[in-house]
Amino acid sequence: MSSLNDLLASQDALLREAALALPHEFSRCTFDMGPIRQAVYLCLTCATLHGICSSCSIACHTDHEQVELFPKRHFRCDCPTSVIPHHPCTLHKTTEEANGTNQYGQNFRGLFCRCAKPYDSKTEQETMIQCLACEDWFHESCLNLRERPPPRESSPDLPDPGDTPAHEDDCSDASLDLPPPLISADDYDSFVCAACVSKVPTLRRYAGTTGVITVVRDVERGSWKRLEGDPSAESQGSFHEPSLDVADPEAATTKRPRSRSSSQNDEREAKRTRLSESPLCLAPAVNPIAQAIFDNKTSGSKDSTHEGIGDIFLTEGFRERWCRCERCLPSLQACPYLLEEEDTYEPPEDPDSGMIVSLLKSLVQELWSGCRATVPLMVFTPSMACGTSSCYISDISLTWDVVLIASDHLLECLRPFAQQGKIVEAADVTQFFEALKEKRRHVN
């Protein structure tokens, strides 16, 4: 058995990580807030097409297998709806109708990227990047930023805390052993996948210009490279006059104009005024290589010296650099997140989170100062509370049980062992958590 100091040290590390995992209150379902941008979770145990909010992922589905989908815009929690009929929401007691406005892409089936693969944190080596528009997640190799790494073996079960610090996640530095990507995270602010770029004319027009990086390769040479405009060329100004008004045939003719009546002159003058008041298009000159790639994708042609997919990487400050003329602005306005950064809802901070951690630390000190045990202090972590053989600290399933443990129940249960000098067996602690879970089921 490990020494008391070793056990306390490992438990202290676990408590610090618990404090980071529990900064918020999780007592309110977000359903009543309507469709908002918020962190969304997929519960694999509840086998329906749905998404749940952070609070419900903890309060209602803590003992279920879940996948974190990260923020999704215009999404309403499905937990209290008829979509999940056999697992009632514990925070929103009234069963609501299914949310008709929620959009369920492939992420809600547990699939990600254009390769449509499931994500496994124990085997994934690559960093995944979220598209600003569709909010799907993409492998760096699928974006042609690096070669696809060979598959690795599954991560082992949770290691002994004496061998590995408890806060180290097996996949947190998944890409550290790989060569640097063609475009690093420091090189750009946001990413938009090719499918979404093709739907926004202004994004397509900007592709490959300064601040809008795309990736292409020479068909003959085959190595992928960054494509972006020449800053020195664009800094000289690439201003373009507005398109001529095709409704006025005289505007496009080189013939001598016929004499006009007074009313025609007034109309012509008004039209000139409208043109002069219209802002000039300040978009940079198009990158012909990028545009040829998009044209070939549209037509299905392969007549090009370069090839690419059409993903773009937007550098910092991109929202301030867009041209806002009558031609460029409308397609940007249809996607407000391209013009203004979005607010993402987060549950309110829990003022008692620090107190809970302090209480846990005091409980551990008091318990172990008066009794002996044949089990390591890892029994006070969610691996026992969840009833699983391996329950990672970074998993969302830890949080609710950690809060429940921060009470007098455990101390009251084990105090007799300290008073009588009895040894705490693993079965004693297991019995406590089984009783705790049974009590929760009756409460819910």
3-state secondary structure of 206: helix
Query: Closest Cα to residue 120, out of 87, 94, 154?
Result: 154
Angstrom distance (rounded) from CA 318 to CA 333:
15
- For helices 408-420 and 426-443, the axis angle rounded to 10 degrees is 150
Query: Closest Cα to residue 103, out of 80, 135, 64?
Result: 135
pLDDT in tens, the chain (444 residues): 444 455 556 656 655 555 555 556 778 999 999 999 999 999 999 988 999 999 999 889 988 999 999 999 999 999 999 999 989 999 999 999 999 999 999 999 999 999 999 988 788 888 899 999 999 999 999 999 998 877 654 434 433 333 333 333 333 345 556 788 999 999 999 999 999 999 999 999 999 999 999 999 987 677 899 999 864 444 333 333 333 233 333 333 333 344 445 555 566 665 555 544 567 999 999 999 999 989 888 776 665 667 788 999 999 999 999 999 999 999 999 999 999 999 999 888 766 555 555 555 555 555 545 444 443 333 333 333 333 322 333 333 344 444 444 444 665 676 676 666 666 666 676 677 677 666 656 655
- For the chain, what are the domain ranges? 4-23+350-443, 31-109, 115-149+162-245+265-348
Angstrom distance (rounded) from CA 117 to CA 123:
12
